[in-house]
Amino acid sequence: MHLAYPAVLAVLLFCTGLYGVLARRNAILVLMSVELMLNAVNLNLVAFDVWLRDALHGGQALTLFTIAIAAAEIGIGLAIVLAVYRNRGSSDIDSLRDTAETDDAETLPDEVDADAVRDTTADQATAPAGKAKKAEATA
């Protein structure tokens, strides 16, 4: 069998996985897409191992390692997803934005200028709204 077939299949698998990681909203589907990408790599390892006729079968050995690590990874990943779901009632990746930097988070405690006072009052007006949003997200 020509090397091109498994290679092209690996590329297709990887791209599918990549698309899933970047575009899917469900955390479980993202994890599955990560598995697809890993398996594309595994396929490549095995195919090149055969094509290069490696005496020690380093590719196949490495593939076994990868499968073991992938199993551990998916176990931890699914546990996290489960914990997030229990916490928030959703495993939607798009709504997990707690690390986002927002304009509301900016505070200027040292400024004494009149403009700054005006800014701070505006901040104070919007800050509760931002906090409420976060509180809602953590609930």
Partner 1 sequence: MTTTTLAVLVPLLPFLGAAAGLLLGRTAPGFVRPLAVLPTLAAAVLAVLVASRQGGGRPIDAATQLTPTGSVPIDLALHLDGFAVLVAVLVGLVATCVQVYSTAYLKDDARYPSYAALVSLFTSAMLLVVYSGDLMVLLVGWEIMGICSYFLVGHYWETPEARAASLKAFLVTKLGDVPFLIGLFALAADTGTFRITGILAAVNNGGLDHPTLIALLLLAGVAGKSAQFPLHTWLPDAMAGPTPVSALIHAATMVAAGIYFVARLLPVFAASAAALVVLAAMAAVTMIGSGLAALAQDDIKRVLAYSTIGQLGYMSGALAVGDRGAAVFHLLSHGAFKAVLFLSAGVVIHAAGTNSLAAMSRMSGLTKRIPDAFWTMTVALLALAAIPPFAGFFSKEAVLVAAEHTAFGDRDVAPAAAGWLVLVAGLTAAVLTAAYATRLWLLAFRGRGPEAADHGRQPAAMTSVLWVLAVPTIAFGLTTGVLVDWFDGHSLTPSLTTAVLSTGVGLVGGLVTYGAWRHTTAHAERPPVGAVAAHPDAEPALVEAEAITSHTAAYGTIAGAPDPSDPGRLLLGPLHRHAVTGFHLDALYTALFVRPTAAAAQLVRFLDREVVDTYVRGSGGIARGLGTLVRRAQTGNVQTYLGALLAGSLVLAIAAVVLANVYAGA
- The smaller minimum CB distance to partner 1, of residues 67 and 118, is found at 118
Measured CA to CA, the distance from residue 78 to residue 76 in angstroms comes to 6
93, 123, 127, 134: which one binds partner 1 (CB under 8 A): 93
Contact 13, 43 (CB under 8 A): yes
97 binds partner 1 (CB under 8 A): yes
DSSP percent split of the chain into helix, strand, coil, nearest 5: 80, 0, 20
136 binds partner 1 (CB under 8 A): no
3-state SS assignment for residue 6 = helix
- The smaller minimum CB distance to partner 1, of residues 29 and 50, is found at 29
Residue 83: its H or E element: helix 58-88
List binders of partner 1 among 26-65 (CB under 8 A). Answer: 30
Q: Candidates 20-28, 49-57, 66-74, 124-132: pick the segment binding partner 1 (CB under 8 A).
A: 20-28
98 binds partner 1 (CB under 8 A): yes
Contact 57, 20 (CB under 8 A): no
Contact 114, 126 (CB under 8 A): no
112 binds partner 1 (CB under 8 A): no
Minimum CB separation of residue 18 from partner 1 in Å reads 7
| Binding-site ranges for partner 1 (CB under 8 A) | 18, 21-23, 30, 93-94, 96-103, 106, 113, 115
